[in-house]
Chain A
Amino acid sequence: MSFIKKFIEQETVSRRNFLLASAYGVAATAAMRMFGPSPAMAATYSDPTVAWSYRNRTNPYWNEIVSGGEAFIESLGKDKSALTHLINEGSSEKSLADVKALLAKTNGELALAIDTNDAPNARPVVESCVEAGAYVSTLWNKTDDLHPWDFGDNYVSHMSWSDEGPAEQTARILLEAIGGKGGVVHLGGIASNNPAIERLNGLKNALKDYPDVELLDAQPADWDTQKANEVMSGFITRYGDEISGVHCANDTIAYGVLEALRAEGMDIPIVSYDGNPQAVGLVAEGKILATVFTNPHWGGGITAALAYYAATGHFKPSEEPNEHREFNGPTIFVTPEDAKAFKASYLDDVPSYDWKDFWGPSNGPIVYK
């Protein structure tokens, strides 16, 4: 069951296809230039500022996102410092204010990739970008009633990840590992965050097939290592040996859980999410049973690339089908068997992507419930 191998194959195929496509794209733009700018292209810019707006730099996840953004910038022949960073420090207010300031500064000549920190914040961000004539692609957070196709070309795309399925899969790995009976606990993210909800749902779905396993407790650990450490300590006191497995909403939580177990000299299976390098290392050592890699490097790069190439007129978002404007990112399982291979091909040597292959590694359209 090597997820990796399959994924790499799939990716290579699509990469090949899209190399062709992009070659065609270059030819097309070149052809257009010969006839001068068409009216439909009037709002595009030859050299827009590219910016990434994200939560903080203290989570490895965001560092991966940023590295993708920088890799993309370098693919344009620029220095990676040309990427403008907006860090919102977990504040929706700052997120919006920074975007507004940047819009004012660049006069709308902006290609923005953003996670708006909180779902409700996406609408005002998108609206102000549209108003200023800038191009924006969103990642993760947006409300369900907000869609790129309602805003013409300027709201280029939204990428998210459907976490419920993969989380269910890791849960199944965990439940198998504990022999299909006993008790498990779940440590979640910030409770209102969408991925936190989906990842817990994934576990609950899997539990339906394991009647002998009890979900002892599920509490939010706010994606935070220290908080996770304390919550896990509490769980150990409350449930003690009843806990036979731990389901963590992401890697940073898993680190805290591991340390809490280590302090007690306990060794029970845990599964995680995100596929950070450190977590992958722990999978390879067998300390974590499985994690899910969502390729934030690619996600960070491609989100910026979509905004950029829409802004330069390389492609016209309104002519793309809806599934090209709202789509799910890739998910890859990392288990002890393939962790080394995975690490070698994705982390030690970050693959160079074709940033014009917008939808190759993506994972189908977003489905709302």
Chain B
Amino acid sequence: MTATPSVLPDTHNRLNRETLVKWAPLLVLGVLLLLFPFFEWLEDFRAAKDHTYLVDSRFLSIRNFARIAISASPALMVAIGVTFIILMGSIDLSMEGTVSVCAVLFAFLFLGMGGTMGSWAILAIPGALIVGAAMGFINGLVHVKLKIPSFMASLAMGFVGTGLALLLTGGDRIRVEDEAFRSLLTVRWFNFPIMCYVALFGLLVAWFIQSRTTLGRNFYAVGGGEELAKASGLNVNRVRIMGFTLAGVFFAMGALLAVGRIGIAETATGNGFMFVSITAVVVGGTALWGGIGGVWNTLIGVLIVNVINNGMVVIGLPGWVQDGTLGLLVIAAVVLSTDRRAVSFVK
């Protein structure tokens, strides 16, 4: 899963192609946004119903965008977390466990301290973020101090996380019913529920970290050349551990939004986040070998994946075709957004 820049990059036409590749994920998203309404139109056309392309599209409506945004919000937070790790050229597979633990502990804390946002229970929110940070910190320690490649370390930590969540709940689901907390989903500003704005806020924070803080820039340095960064006096191990910790915080954000969306915290809260988030990161154009991409790419990637998922249901694709279609569309999206001439091989 690494690639090396080719020794002699072809410099001809580079600017044009570079720009094209840079914006390719957005183009893919745009194409998808036109494609699904087309199928809607086709369906109505066949049924001889009145349907003006795009204008009459149910898919292309604010209400549906809100639905896509709701399902994308928790995934976006998790994907942003893992984006930082992938920028460093590492990978984090512990998100499912971390999300579950954070969700469950948040629910316990929240209910244990009063169960309403107006009480001390509100402290459960920072509490969950701290739990996420701690999980990420341990993950980073295992990876860095035991010198275990992050793929293995985080995979195992994921097992530990899911196991811990199971141990904590004993399999029970914890309902978080507080209206104020659930306003994340139920209260809408400008058609979008509050959780979308929280996710947007998270995205801006991540962007800020990525572009404006030393830590964020150091992710790029480590991803671009770890040995070189080390030689420049950068404490790479510290950057790595802090990266995993930061990822943990964003996983916890994802957990909070996931609980906010369903109102339930359980061991299964984290299920499915691993493949969705990493696929989204790659689809968005962040390279798995590190150093290229960022949180905006991830936003596009998450939107692409969620638009595909939503669109397939909206155009009435049978359930059994959906998996395969998603697979093929993901391959297509990655192919389109990869600068094939800038990499010599991919694993």
Contact = CB atoms under 8 A, between A and B. Distances in A.
A264 B58 contact: no
Contact of A237 (B186, B266, B310, B318): B310
B175 interface: yes
A229 B262 contact: yes
Nearest to A255: B264
Contacts of B263: 255, 259
A173 B334 CA distance: 48
Contacts, number: 103
Contact of B319 (A56, A220, A278): A220
B70 A233 contact: yes
Contact of B171 (A56, A219, A256, A278): A56
A127 interface: no
A226 B262 CA distance: 7
A135 B175 CA distance: 39
A362 B264 CA distance: 33
B268 interface: yes
Interface string A217-250: 1011000111101110111111010000000000
A348 to B, nearest CB: 16
Contact of A278 (B70, B175, B267): B175
A66 to B, nearest CB: 8
Interface residues of A, number: 34
Contacts of B272: 226-227
B71 A230 contact: yes
B320 A229 contact: no
A57 B171 contact: yes
A278 B172 CA distance: 11
B71 A233 contact: yes
Contacts of A191: 319-320
Contacts of A224: 268, 271
A63 interface: yes
A62 interface: yes
A237 B262 contact: no
B32 interface: no
A312 B35 CA distance: 65
Contacts of A262: 185-186
Given A219-B319, A234-B314, A278-B175, A57 B262 contact: no
Interface in B165-191: 166, 169-173, 175, 185-186
Nearest to B310: A234
A262 B186 CA distance: 7
A226 B271 contact: yes
Interface in B285-318: 309-310, 312-316, 318
B258 A226 contact: yes
Contact of B268 (A58, A217, A229): A58
Contacts of B271: 224, 226
B313 A235 contact: yes
A237 B319 contact: no
Nearest to B318: A219
**Residue picked from A57, A62, A229, most chain B C-beta under 10 Å:** A57
A230 B309 contact: yes
Interface string B4-16: 0000000000000
A110 B71 CA distance: 46
A234 B170 contact: no
24 contacts: A57-B171, A58-B166, A58-B173, A58-B266, A58-B268, A59-B171, A62-B171, A63-B171, A63-B172, A225-B268, A226-B269, A231-B313, A234-B67, A234-B309, A234-B310, A237-B61, A237-B64, A237-B314, A238-B58, A238-B313, A238-B316, A259-B262, A263-B67, A278-B175
Given A60-B172, A240-B58, A263-B261, 19 more contacts: A57-B267, A226-B262, A226-B271, A227-B272, A230-B309, A230-B313, A231-B313, A233-B70, A233-B313, A234-B312, A234-B313, A236-B63, A237-B61, A237-B64, A255-B264, A259-B185, A259-B263, A262-B186, A264-B67
Per CB-CB distance, the 3 closest pairs between chain A and chain B, nearest first, are: A234-B313, A57-B171, A233-B67
